[in-house]
Amino acid sequence: MRVAEKLHQLTNGAWDGTINPLIRLWGFRGSEVQQSIPKAEAIQEVLAEIGFDQIEISDGHLRKKKASVSLDLASIAKGYGVDQVAAVIGKNGFRDFLVEIGGEVCASGFRKDGKPWKIGINTPWKDASLHEVYKALDLTTHKALATSGDYRNFFELNGKRYSHILDPTTGYPLANGVVSASVMADTCTFADGLATALMVLGHEKGIPLVNSLERVECLIVVQAADGTFRDYASEGFDKGS
């Protein structure tokens, strides 16, 4: 929860662990295909009932300042799981290993052949196979990598694509052209959440934020109007990998 609190504050609300009602309103938690866009009034009503700043965190306790607020930590759950598994492996004396859950990764040490762990970032295209690599990275010791994207979970209506990643400040799906954001950090929990936030922030706000952080690097991929991809990387991204 402390990591969640840090992410919310650091990103000025671009990451928010209370937006489950908003996700449901847009139909991304149901089994039926979305047939219409939520009305603006409905979106505003939901926005008024969410907000991670309505969660008060103290040692061993959580308190909701507003009864209607509920927690949904799905955007950092896989990263947290990776960190927990890596911790158990490390405590049992292993130093060279790689943990992966749903595309989120933690690497420690080296491969059996002595080379660094090489991790591929999936091509951010809806028809790309899971094995199609956009960029490959060599991860150094105790580095975590998480990627968020809008190319797997979305719906199309009247020729327009609506991403499952929502902007908690507006209540609407992304419309900034970002199709993928990858983050390298010391923990996968933090990388996982920050990758989601960078999807919302976009490269103009996201890159300066990451450049201000220690031991954190990122790659943000934007799809231009002509369909081509443009890469925006933090200052130490190539060195950090």
Give the 3-state secondary structure of residue 53.
helix
**Which residue is listed with tokens 């960190």?**
83
pLDDT, one tens digit for every residue, the chain (241 residues): 899 999 999 999 999 999 999 999 998 876 665 678 899 999 999 999 999 999 988 887 888 888 889 898 999 999 999 999 999 999 999 999 999 999 899 999 999 999 999 999 988 887 777 778 888 888 875 689 999 998 777 777 777 888 889 999 999 999 899 999 999 999 999 999 999 999 999 999 999 999 999 999 999 999 998 889 999 999 988 765 5
Q: Output the pLDDT for position 31.
A: 60
Q: Tell me which DSSP letter residue 68 carries.
A: T
Q: Output the pLDDT for position 129.
A: 74
Give dist(CA 103, CA 120) in Å, integer: 10
Give dist(CA 88, CA 161) in Å, integer: 41
Cα–chain-centroid distance for residue 163?
13
Q: Output the pLDDT for position 89.
A: 97
Which helix (H) or strand (E) segment holds residue 226: the answer is none
61: β partners: 58
Which helix (H) or strand (E) segment holds residue 197: the answer is helix 188-211
**Which residue is listed with tokens 């938690």?**
29
Which superfamily, per CATH, for 2-64?
A: ApbE-like superfamily (1.10.3980.10)
Contacts made by residues 130-136, CB under 8 angstroms, sequence distance 24+: 134/180, 134/221, 134/229, 135/219, 135/231
Q: Output the pLDDT for position 39.
A: 94
